[in-house]
Structure 1
Amino acid sequence: MIPADEIAKPSHALPFWLSLGLVPLAVAVAMVGGWAVLLMPASTWWLFTVLDRITGKSEENPDPATPEAALGWYRAITLIWFPVQFLLLCWMLWYVPGAEHLSGWEKAGVFFGMGVIAGTIGINYSHELMHQKSRLERWCADLLLAMVLYSHFRSEHLRVHHLWVGTPRDPVTARYNEGFHRFFPRVLVQCHRSAWAAEVAMLARRGLPWWNRANPYWRYGALQGGMLLLAFTLGGWMGVGLFLLQAGVAVWQLELVNYIEHYGLTRRHLGEGRYEHVLPRHSWNASEKASNWLLINLQRHSDHHYKPDRRFPLLQTYDAEEAPQLPLGYPVMTIAAMIPPLWKRIMNPRVRAWRRKFYPDITDWHAYNKGLNPVPGHRTPDQAGA
């Protein structure tokens, strides 16, 4: 176990600040153009995969009792990221639309790279921030999500995903044998619906109508509208188009990660709309060191679901006996997810092995998921009306 005094050292936190290196790279790409536009996706998808091979795995756990005061350097990187990303986006919206040395395709390539930053880093940091109690951190989460027009992700993630992960009621739990290209459009529609329904239901429990000012969708709309207005002010209609491109790429990056985090994993239904508690077995994990630096330990996903407000430097890892492990880190696995035959060849045998290990009494999963109740004593979701 890593002791608290070691965790508190700036040198221990420093690798998680590597994301800042993407900012000068993005500026250089915009100023150079040409084949340099490929550097942004290459740096996040391929460079960190290579670094994973060099640095190996990190399977040692930090002391979970480490006090909050010892985590200042870790908290700082998530807090400064919004102003850093905001200034970078503003500069790009001002500079790129009028840059004569960039062709139309090169401008699109620059903003594709901006979307990779906003999705891989920005949304991931907003995910960390939205789980904290501080109003400042939650506001930073909202602002980062508004920059990619995906503000409802906060409602969906906190009020739907964490409650219903691994069940039919969670849109972002990828079904077994569901390819990403089917998953993605389904999620884009269903997440909006489930997030809205969750917020309206919460207001109703307080005796408030959907149009009450307490509905966070008013804030979401105002922030997103402000970002679109900013894009138009700085870059005109081309700026709006490029802004929408980076937002779309960022959302695609987010949902790729959502897809691999719980693919094919389900919680047992106990009847009457109830499910077993979320356990480490219900998330895919990875211990690759460099990827966890980039993604601030997102790959320790089982522990995040066990204790959602635990800050990222204290997330625990589990061995294969408790939680399923991916063969490689998230960056390379998201690439595999874009090729459904390859993904299914890699992951479907692992899902079947997971089922045999943790749920040996369920012998017909197709029937179980269809509500045909092959398991004595357990009512399935369809039978319970879930």
Structure 2
Amino acid sequence: MTTPRQQTEPDGAEAPARPARPAYLAPDRLASLRHAAPFWVSFLLPPLAIVAAIHGGWTLALLPASTWWLFWGLDLATGLEKANADPQTPDDQLTAYRLITALWVPVQCVTLFALIYYATHSDHLSGGEKAWLFFGVGILTGTIGINYSHELMHQSNRLERNLADLLLAMVLYSHFRSEHLLVHHRYVATPRDAVTARYNEGFHRYFPRVLAECPGSAFAAERAMLARRKLPWHHRSNPYWRYAALQGAMLALAFGLGGWAGLGLFLLQAFVAIWQLELVNYVEHYGLTRRHLGDGRYEHVKPHHSWNSARKASNWLLINLQRHSDHHYRPDRRFPLLQTYDEDEAPQLPHGYPVMTVAAMIPPVWRRVMNPRVRDWRRRHYPDIEDWKPYYKGGLPLPR
């Protein structure tokens, strides 16, 4: 399942000792539709967007309220899920899970472009209501769509990778695939990874920085791969040609369905989706760093280099994205097989992403909640490091 674009644990690297775990979910249980059913919850969201488009008014709050506040409440009600699936479960036992991400692509495409046509050909919504509608659509295409593209891009078969490209093109963020697979997974928690939020770096500084740095670093990574094959950057195998074609097609479709207004609504949802993605990126690694070993070398990625959350309901919505510690440790695992970790193995977020992303938008609140946890993480995992300033003020060499 691993592709050349994915990072895996180097041969000989030892897995961290695992304490006793709750009973593993057997493969036959994993294969059941009943057990996969909670992860299909995202398919309840497109109908909310349609209701909001038809009725306007207070219904425009349905999507933001559902993804943020409803799932915060559901997290409180459902608690934590600490059971782990057998990571050796074969793909043919995961069909009910794989269908979730594959079927989402046509659902999102139809929802997005049908709403563009409807909003630009109806007169019962004011300009402000249309903007709020597509703010909600951006939460849909970002919180769900980009997240599902993230799952798909990590797979080895071409169909799933192509589906990931379609989802990213719908939000004009196609370079995310190159940046995530070639840069982020390789350099996470080091100065070379733009996506790793620095200690004390507020989201309002982080967001414009990653918007500026990531496209260039992604292109440089693709160019370097081509150079190793003795090919020029403009060779047809450079995925940036595909990215440009797909994004151009999405823009043309939005314009064809709704004219300049439709194009504007499309751009609005794309920006909101990107904002949602980068909020999550900010939360996932804030303040965490890998030990510098000298001479531009850093330790291997381990579970304690990503923030973990076992909140049950929000992991249903986000297909276990919050088990991010295991995703970086074993990036080839499909989402139902991702493992959760206890506090002694990986740092724990106090809440799920719905709450933490809201907190990230308020830097004083974020620092009050997270900075003590970062300092505790440092004492727990790196008690011998006394001076941390080089780690978060750019004083370390870039990894090789």
Bin of the TM-score, shorter chain as denominator length? over 0.9
366 and 286 in structure 1: CA distance in 2 versus 1, 3 angstrom threshold: same
* Kept in 1: contact 2:200–2:287 (CA 8 A): yes
Number of the residue aligned with 2:142:
119
Separation in 2, partners of 1:284, 1:370: 21
Stretches of 4+ aligned residues off by more than 3 angstroms: 367-372
Find out whether 1:158 has 2:174 as its counterpart. no
Question: Which of 224, 230, 247 pairs up with 2:270?
Answer: 247
SS in 2 for 1:236: helix
Separation in 1, partners of 2:196, 2:187: 9
Find out whether 1:381 has 2:400 as its counterpart. no
SS in 1 for 2:120: coil
SS in 2 for 1:160: helix
* Kept in 1: contact 2:359–2:366 (CA 8 A): yes
Number of the residue aligned with 1:50:
73
Number of the residue aligned with 2:43:
20
Displacement of 1:367 = 4.1
Find out whether 1:197 has 2:220 as its counterpart. yes
Separation in 1, partners of 2:358, 2:340: 23
Number of the residue aligned with 2:333:
310
SS in 2 for 1:5: helix
Read off the aligned partner of 1:4 and give its amino acid letter: P
Q: TM-score, normalised by structure 2?
A: 0.93
Read off the aligned partner of 1:365 and give its amino acid letter: W
Find out whether 1:90 has 2:106 as its counterpart. no
Read off the aligned partner of 2:124 and give its amino acid letter: H
Number of the residue aligned with 2:296:
273
Question: Which of 25, 29, 32 pairs up with 2:52?
Answer: 29
Please list the CA deviations of residues 230-254 of structure 1 after superposition, one character each: whole Å capped at 9, or x if unmatched.
0000000000000000000000000
Q: Percent identity?
A: 69
SS in 1 for 2:123: coil
The runs of 5 or more residues in structure 1 that have no matched partner are: 373-379
* Kept in 2: contact 1:167–1:267 (CA 8 A): yes
105 and 369 in structure 1: CA distance in 2 versus 1, 3 angstrom threshold: closer
What is the root-mean-square deviation in Å for CA atoms of aligned residues?
A: 1.1
Separation in 1, partners of 2:119, 2:391: 53
Number of the residue aligned with 1:293:
316
Find out whether 1:105 has 2:121 as its counterpart. no
Number of the residue aligned with 1:321:
344
Find out whether 1:78 has 2:94 as its counterpart. no
* Kept in 1: contact 2:199–2:392 (CA 8 A): no
Displacement of 1:366 = 1.2
Separation in 1, partners of 2:394, 2:93: 49
SS in 2 for 1:132: coil
Separation in 1, partners of 2:117, 2:94: 36
Separation in 1, partners of 2:234, 2:245: 14
Separation in 1, partners of 2:308, 2:100: 23
* Kept in 2: contact 1:362–1:368 (CA 8 A): no
Aligned residues: 377
Find out whether 1:207 has 2:230 as its counterpart. yes
Q: TM-score, normalised by structure 1?
A: 0.96
Matches within 5 A, 1:55-66: 55-66=78-89
Separation in 1, partners of 2:157, 2:310: 29
215 and 281 in structure 1: CA distance in 2 versus 1, 3 angstrom threshold: same
Displacement of 1:271 = 1.8
Displacement of 1:272 = 2.2
Number of the residue aligned with 1:140:
163
Please list the CA deviations of residues 339-358 of structure 1 after superposition, one character each: whole Å capped at 9, or x if unmatched.
00000000000000000111
Displacement of 1:98 = 2.2
Matches within 5 A, 1:313-352: 313-352=336-375
Find out whether 1:235 has 2:258 as its counterpart. yes
Separation in 1, partners of 2:260, 2:285: 39
* Kept in 1: contact 2:146–2:168 (CA 8 A): yes
SS in 2 for 1:166: coil
Number of the residue aligned with 2:6:
none
Displacement of 1:193 = 1.1
